[in-house]
Chains A and B, each alone.
Chain A
Amino acid sequence: MASDVGDRIPILKLGDALLVTIQVDMHDRLALALEDDLTNRIVQTSAKGVLIDISALEIVDSFIGRTLASIAQIARVLDAETVVVGMRPAVAITLVELGLSLPGVRTALNAERGMALIRTHRADELDADPDGDAA
């Protein structure tokens, strides 16, 4: 457990999406490092989607929530869609009572549905702009 402190959260690439599974109780600097790392990887890989699996997270407080919202906003500016998946029911109930609304964050029940959302978003984009160049 202690060895996780100071480590970074791994980011995997799957097709044109990035995949993050948060498996540790993140301290604030680790959450900020994830935001930085994801931003860099989106640019490096031209990823079109970011899937963040939080099914292992036992709580989401205002700091983690703010970080997720911030990741989604940055990704959007970089033309990538973020989907947060696997939020536990107890976490969802608590978030609402805390007053956190996760602005701009799309959610899905599980990773499969999250990937489907990212693909749909991508397909809509290609439909609207088949050459991928027009403004």
Chain B
Amino acid sequence: MPLVSIKEVHKSFGKLEVLRGVSLDVKKGEVVCIIGPSGSGKSTLIRCINGLNDIQKGSITVEGQEVNDPKLDKLALRKKVGIVFQQYNLFPHKTALENVMMAPVKVLKEPKREVEERARALIAKVRLSGKEDVYPGHLSGGQQQRVAIARSLAMRPDVMLFDEVTAALDPETVKEVLLTIKELAAEGMTCILVTHEMGFAREVADHVYFTDRGVIVEHGPPEELFTQAKDERTQRFLSQIF
């Protein structure tokens, strides 16, 4: 059974239909990249997976749990799904360590000492040891983004969603964030990434989906999609990027 299963999903904002029958499956441990032009609905799709956006038609399941269910246990879903945004969205009134500790302590009510140990380990893992007591405002974009990744990991999710997490960063700091994600993928974390970093997608993805105007135009393993795209839209998009 796939870890995340998306079937014929339709999503509209008012009259604007943003997703028009999207289907994709992600197996445990798989790394999936979603690429496509701006406005094609990539962010919307990824936000539907953890229930930030609701859908009008179709089904999304995470470990068999239906997301599009009015009786959905949101807490259970969000423990399973971590998400990192383009704009980091760290809590500015809390230090890096507190940012990472907050959800497990306040939401899961786990003992503070245990959480702190785990949080320190996570901060070390994203190579930010020594920055535990620094406030987000004093960290670079890349450092903030890595704290955001650690913050999501602190909930021990089964799948991580990344929505263009390097798009707002300086070129120098992009690398360190991508390295963190690469390590995470290598450890077997299931990842769904929206990205414009084609080199990175090629390197880490098991499968790449090209979306345009709310549909998946074409998908396949990266070496195949990037070199022998069949659809003319995919070819045009890729030629613009490379």
A, B in one complex: no
Residues of A within 8 A of B (CB): none
Residues of B within 8 A of A (CB): none
